[in-house]
């Protein structure tokens, strides 16, 4: 099992999260204690109402990951999740190529359809078309990463002889991890994904994210078995897929003992989870890094394989 943590972005000047030196420290610390990946999420234009109700601020994930690439050497760099319908797919392909090239081939493109209707409206994107936009955009992105000259005529996007050079370091392209719990999301993983980013939490969280609810390890295990069936129908196996899931064992502020965390993580691994999401404490930056170091000393070595930092291609 490997571990991923997403950076907290908070405008509180006393918390330290906006200090560029601290962003670099976050990246280096995760790498030093054995995390497999660091991540930044994607909300370019959230509403004030959503933020006040518990939403989170963000950096541009592509820029932030490129910054972290410059101060690390091994840890993988993940979007979690990039909202694909928000942007032209050629621009997204270029952004992720930049991360992959400047990191020496460490990018993971975890992506989703998005769910904040107010954000779709602010960006001039039709939320009702999000699934159609997503599927066509991913088709264009894959062409941009694998074809010498990109030709595409679709409902939403057109390309007429674009040369998307340079290519990513990872061949044929950075791994595509699909977010969401629905049958449609699992079908996408089975068709062309290299990973599944599950959403585990309360039914209210699932309703907010407009996806199928997964509230327990047992339900997650059932969904992984469903993914396995869909993979087999396409001649693929679960061994080809990474499965990322959040877990209470990764919530660093919940007071769990190392033994409690290890027991829960072992159950997740048995269910088929290969990556666990770690949630940083919401207070100051320095205290959060102390928690990361403790987790790195007490939990990570017991579960992380010795080849954690091997270089992998997507397919």
The count of other CB atoms within 10 Å of the CB of residue 208 is 17
Q: Which fold has domain 2-303?
A: TIM Barrel (3.20.20)
Residues in contact with 226: Cβ distance below 8 Å, sequence separation at least 6, in sequence order: 183, 186
Q: What is the pLDDT of residues 103-145, one digit of tens each?
A: 999 999 999 999 999 999 999 999 999 999 999 999 999 999 9
Give the pLDDT of residue 307: 62
Query: CB–CB of 66/41 below 8 Å?
Result: no
| CA 287 vs CA 15, 55, 183, 283, 297: distances in Å | 10, 22, 39, 7, 16
pLDDT at 311 over 60: no
Give me the mean pLDDT over the 175-196 stretch: 98
The whole-model pTM stands at 0.95
pLDDT at 292 over 70: yes
Give the pLDDT of residue 89: 99
Cα–Cα distance between 230 and 228 in angstroms, integer?
Answer: 5
| Weakest mean pLDDT among 32-41, 161-170, 207-216, 291-300 | 207-216
pLDDT at 310 over 60: no
Q: What percent of the chain has pLDDT over 70?
A: 97
């Amino acid at each position: 099992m490997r571990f991923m943590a997403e950076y907290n972005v908070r405008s509180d000047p006393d918390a330290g999260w906006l200090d560029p030196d601290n962003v670099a420290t976050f990246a280096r610390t995760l790498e030093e204690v054995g995390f497999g990946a660091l991540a930044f999420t994607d909300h370019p234009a959230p509403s004030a109402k959503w933020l006040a109700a518990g939403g989170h601020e963000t950096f541009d994930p592509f820029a932030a990951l490129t910054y972290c690439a410059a101060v690390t050497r091994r840890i993988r760099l993940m979007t979690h999740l990039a909202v694909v319908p928000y942007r032209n797919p050629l621009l997204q392909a270029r952004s992720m190529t930049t991360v992959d090239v400047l990191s020496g081939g460490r990018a993971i493109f975890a992506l989703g359809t998005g769910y904040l209707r107010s954000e779709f409206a602010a960006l001039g994107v039709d939320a009702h078309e999000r699934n159609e936009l997503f599927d066509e955009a991913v088709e264009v992105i894959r062409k941009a990463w694998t074809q010498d000259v990109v030709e595409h005529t679709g409902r939403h996007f057109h390309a007429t002889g674009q040369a998307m050079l340079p290519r990513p370091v990872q061949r044929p392209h950075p791994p595509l991890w699909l977010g969401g719990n629905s049958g449609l999301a699992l079908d996408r993983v089975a068709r062309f994904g290299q990973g599944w980013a599950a959403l585990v939490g309360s039914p209210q969280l699932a309703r907010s994210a407009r996806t199928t609810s997964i509230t327990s390890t047992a339900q997650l295990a059932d969904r992984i078995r469903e993914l396995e069936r869909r993979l087999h129908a396409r001649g693929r196996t679960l061994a080809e897929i990474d499965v990322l899931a959040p877990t209470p064992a990764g919530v660093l502020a919940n007071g769990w003992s190392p033994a409690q965390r290890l027991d829960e993580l072992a159950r997740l691994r048995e269910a088929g989870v290969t990556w666990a999401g770690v949630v940083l404490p919401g207070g100051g930056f320095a205290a959060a890094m102390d928690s990361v170091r403790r987790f790195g000393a007490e939990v990570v070595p017991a579960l992380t394989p010795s080849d954690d930092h091997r270089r992998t291609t997507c397919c």
